[in-house]
Structure 1
Amino acid sequence: MEFLSLIYTIPAFYIFCLIWRLFNQRRNQECYILDYQCYKPTDDRMLGTEFCGKVIRRTENLGLNEYKFLLKAIVSSGIGEQTYAPRNVFDGREASPTLEDGILEMEEFFNDSIAKLLQRTSISPSEIDVLVVNISMFAAVPSLSSRIINRYKLRHDIKVYNLTGMGCSASLISVDIVQNIFKTQKNKLALLVTSESLSPNWYNGNDRSMILANCLFRSGGCAMILTNKRSLKEKAMLKLKCLVRTHHGAREESFSCCVQKEDEQGRLGFHLGKTLPKAATRAFVDNLRVMAPKILPSRELLRFLVISLIKKLKITSSTKSSSGGATKFTKSPLNFKTGVDHFCIHTGGKAVIDGIGMSLDLTEHDLEPARMTLHRFGNTSASSLWYVLGYMEAKKRLKRGDRIFMISFGAGFKCNSCLWEVMRDLGDANVWDGCIDDYPPESLANPFMEKYGWINDVEDENSIELPDFLK
């Protein structure tokens, strides 16, 4: 009997060990953000209204119509006059950048934000196991990741990923890389660095689809530390719940709507095509189709299913009906607020924010963080999401248990999104210190709109009399 009892006990023991191992492994696969640090350049790099006028005026290859087009674009952009530009713009050398300009812009960001982040978290550079760097439009040799390793003397066995060409949605791609590493390796610390180098990418031609980029993009960046260490769970700010990546590069319209290329005169720039809104919409819809079941409660999915079924039946019956007088049925969209508390939207431009707000039926309160970030910092490319997150934190909106939905778009064409859970009440000092009390202002009309907004009311471009700074 003792022998039989032992035989029955051994399989049970192994089953218990297997279950415990699977449970323990899953716990080690969690992905947390310990802290993040957005970059605020120095005040001498701030773009005021008058200085922007000087930059436009000294662009030699622009004709009269291009000046008018640029002015209209700036007036309608939703960007204020406290955003930042690279130093070579203030030196008047944006049309003839050097390699050193690009490196200097990135090193200023690295030396400021990474140092502050390591100091705040009390983490030594030697503790970092993984480094992921994404800078889309600038590649140097040695790589930018190597420069960070050299500057902070990171370990020789650190796992390094240096991403280029991934566009404005690159930071969530970097998070996905870190998450996948955490699934196979436990007790790791990852440093993620996301930014864009504007110094070498100023367009000096007159193609309207390419001079738009000069109006929209601004200097910025963010460094963050992620971990799957259970011992650091209580210190974590956010926990990653799920992440979905959508890539429409196989579609020619989507692939070619955002592309770096040369114009007819051989001047390098970043082309924003007319098919961009259509490509963004398609990618967004496909992304939500995968993301919705992961983040919405069952009751909302069931409600949507029932409404869709009823609509389909009504359409079928109206088709068969000889009278043809069936009442039209408007499908109710999914209510993402049933599974999401805050929406962190990429500040690609006013139209991007408006479009997402309309698609998800968001209120002005929901869109406020993205609108204010666009106004204060502009489109800082892949790092823009973290400035939006910083606004929410500075306004003390983020409470333990809240869920944050991040949405970003990028060339390729890509739409990436993820859901974070807030691990503790957040309200620490961040990049918005010193100005958060000024937001939202009573009126969001930017200084360009106040001075030159009349240009939007002019129907005949030939009747426009240019401001003095453009004459």
Structure 2
Amino acid sequence: MSATRPLKIGKLDAETSAKIATRNEKLGLEEFRFLLKTMVSSGIGEEAYCPRNILLGKEEFPTLTDALSETDEIVFDTLDNLFAKTKTSPQEIDILVMNVSLFTPVPSLTARIINRYKMKDSIKAFNLSGMGCSSSIVAIDLVNHLFKSYKNAFAIVVSTECMGPNWYCGTEKTMMLSNVLFRSGGCSVLLTNNASLKHRAIMKLKCAVRTHLGSNDEAYNSCIQKEDDHDYRGFQLTKHLPKAATKALIQNLRLLVPKILPLRELIRYIIVEGQLLTRLAAGLGLNEYDLEPARMALHRFGNTSSGGGWYVLGYMEAKKRLRKGDKILMINLGAGFKCNNCVWEVMKDLKDTNVWEDCIDSYPPKALVNPFMEKYGWINEADAEEKVQAAIQLNGCIS
């Protein structure tokens, strides 16, 4: 497993976030205030990554070159690290599955990987698109089924999202949310069904359960790519999203729990990613210790879509929380609306600091300071409108 820190893409701090927001000259006071409020409550710190074309002010007119450059940096970095870490050659890979929801060039991204690493002609490649934040487990489940037909095989799953071409430049509040909440990142995972390599494995897949509420109109439309009334394309997150997520999770657990009873005795750690964390935590009986990895991953890397769960897992590994025999439940929620869960068994004591190497000793901080709260916490004060107007004028959006 190898997650990435896309250092060349660039970090998005509080000041830069506000400048990007004020570049949108269509925003009025109400919309700008909404953005600042969302930033303040996001739980994301100043170290998360943002596509270069956004930082350079090219969000309204992204190019294919921008999107390919963003994807290449994330994907090739994580794969380079994975091959080096596992001492595996690209020519040994039998199955390649890539999941990116919002970017589908031709040739496919899997073809781009095969070309870059000169993989063998017999490789089985699958490019999954449009499946949202839960698509990493979809890819894992696909590999699990393929392993029934291909024996002693190596498979790689690459999970990421291409944010640059999908930045929303309009004023619809439900579509502006994705600009604030999502950040750049990704992960690759090496899997095998070769029993002779059991001693090298760090985890074993026990089961995977997928639930899809696409037949429910409210759930289907709760998280959807669309164009607003002015033809600006974006990703809409509606007020029905929490309800859809809760329903999907309940349906999923009804199928999962009988496979792994008793739940709390078998599973020591539960991973939930993203903004629905707090809402779902109480129903799952999670305590602060359980929630810490997800909150720290959100603070350090932001919501990296389908790759997010692997940053959480990396935190747990770097903190030496994962011991041989532990069971891990990974919970992914995504557009469709889907809830996909899988259970892993830890095969050895894990202690690799991985993508957290440069900062794990500083987590968790004594106080989880929100830089956006420090800079823009005044948004909740009585005179906020005057300060909002001053901030906009400072950045040249209103003369």
Partner of 2:252: 287
Q: Distance in 2 between matches of 1:243 and 1:125?
A: 27
Q: Distance in 1 between matches of 2:373 and 2:266?
A: 37
Amino acid at match of 2:211: T
> 2:4–2:186: 8 Å Cα contact kept in structure 1?
yes
Whether 2:368 is the aligned partner of 1:368: answer no
Q: Distance in 1 between matches of 2:181 and 2:266?
A: 32
Whether 2:260 is the aligned partner of 1:337: answer no
| Residue range with higher mean Cα deviation, 155-164 or 447-456 | 447-456
Q: Distance in 2 between matches of 1:376 and 1:246?
A: 29
Amino acid at match of 1:99: L
> 1:78–1:445: 8 Å Cα contact kept in structure 2?
no
Measured after TM superposition, the shift of residue 470 of structure 1 is 2.8
Q: Distance in 2 between matches of 1:242 and 1:456?
A: 46
Whether 2:136 is the aligned partner of 1:136: answer no
Whether 2:89 is the aligned partner of 1:167: answer no
Measured after TM superposition, the shift of residue 469 of structure 1 is 3.4
Q: Structure 1 residue aligned with 2:25, among 60, 67, 87?
A: 60
Q: Distance in 1 between matches of 2:15 and 2:118?
A: 42
> 1:403–1:419: 8 Å Cα contact kept in structure 2?
yes
Amino acid at match of 1:422: V
Q: Structure 2 residue aligned with 1:146, among 111, 123, 128?
A: 111
Partner of 2:243: 278
Partner of 1:262: 227
Q: Structure 1 residue aligned with 2:162, among 197, 204, 227?
A: 197
> 2:29–2:389: 8 Å Cα contact kept in structure 1?
no
Report 1:241-260 matches (<5 A). 241-260=206-225
Q: Distance in 2 between matches of 1:456 and 1:249?
A: 37
Q: Distance in 2 between matches of 1:108 and 1:172?
A: 22
Offset from partner CA, 1:137-156 (integer Å, 9 cap, x none):
00101110000000000111
Partner of 1:410: 334
Q: Secondary structure at the match of 1:291?
A: helix
Q: Distance in 2 between matches of 1:121 and 1:44?
A: 26
RMSD: 1.3
Partner of 1:10: none
Amino acid at match of 1:289: R
Q: Distance in 2 between matches of 1:170 and 1:191?
A: 14
| Residue range with higher mean Cα deviation, 400-409 or 107-116 | 107-116
Report 1:443-458 matches (<5 A). 443-456=367-380, 458=382
Whether 2:62 is the aligned partner of 1:97: answer yes
Report 1:107-122 matches (<5 A). 107-122=72-87
| CA 64–422 in structure 1, closer or farther in 2 if over 3 Å, else same | same
Measured after TM superposition, the shift of residue 258 of structure 1 is 0.7
> 2:174–2:236: 8 Å Cα contact kept in structure 1?
yes
Q: Distance in 2 between matches of 1:441 and 1:43?
A: 26
Measured after TM superposition, the shift of residue 456 of structure 1 is 3.2
Q: Structure 1 residue aligned with 2:387, among 465, 468, 471?
A: 465
| CA 44–210 in structure 1, closer or farther in 2 if over 3 Å, else same | closer
Partner of 1:6: none
Partner of 1:326: none
Measured after TM superposition, the shift of residue 265 of structure 1 is 0.4
Larger Rg: 1
Partner of 2:348: 424
> 1:340–1:404: 8 Å Cα contact kept in structure 2?
yes
Q: Secondary structure at the match of 1:170?
A: helix
> 1:113–1:222: 8 Å Cα contact kept in structure 2?
yes
Measured after TM superposition, the shift of residue 467 of structure 1 is 7.1
Amino acid at match of 1:201: N
Report 1:431-450 matches (<5 A). 431-450=355-374
| CA 376–467 in structure 1, closer or farther in 2 if over 3 Å, else same | farther
Unpaired runs of 5+ in structure 2?
Answer: 394-399
Amino acid at match of 1:138: F
Q: Which runs of 4+ in 1 moved over 6 A?
A: none
| Residue range with higher mean Cα deviation, 199-208 or 427-436 | 427-436
Report 1:342-357 matches (<5 A). 342-347=269-274, 349=275, 352-357=276-281
Q: Secondary structure at the match of 1:42?
A: coil
Amino acid at match of 2:391: F
Whether 2:145 is the aligned partner of 1:180: answer yes
> 2:9–2:50: 8 Å Cα contact kept in structure 1?
no
Q: Distance in 1 between matches of 2:292 and 2:10?
A: 25
> 1:53–1:470: 8 Å Cα contact kept in structure 2?
no
> 2:353–2:360: 8 Å Cα contact kept in structure 1?
no
Q: TM-score with structure 1 length normalisation?
A: 0.82
Amino acid at match of 1:340: I
Measured after TM superposition, the shift of residue 56 of structure 1 is 1.0
Amino acid at match of 2:244: A
Offset from partner CA, 1:170-216 (integer Å, 9 cap, x none):
00000000000112221000011000000100000000010010000
Q: Structure 1 residue aligned with 2:12, among 47, 52, 57?
A: 47
Q: Secondary structure at the match of 1:354?
A: helix
Measured after TM superposition, the shift of residue 454 of structure 1 is 3.3
Q: Distance in 2 between matches of 1:111 and 1:361?
A: 38
> 2:10–2:49: 8 Å Cα contact kept in structure 1?
yes
Q: Distance in 2 between matches of 1:111 and 1:44?
A: 13
Q: Structure 1 residue aligned with 2:320, among 390, 393, 396?
A: 396
Q: Distance in 1 between matches of 2:390 and 2:151?
A: 62
Q: TM-score with structure 2 length normalisation?
A: 0.96
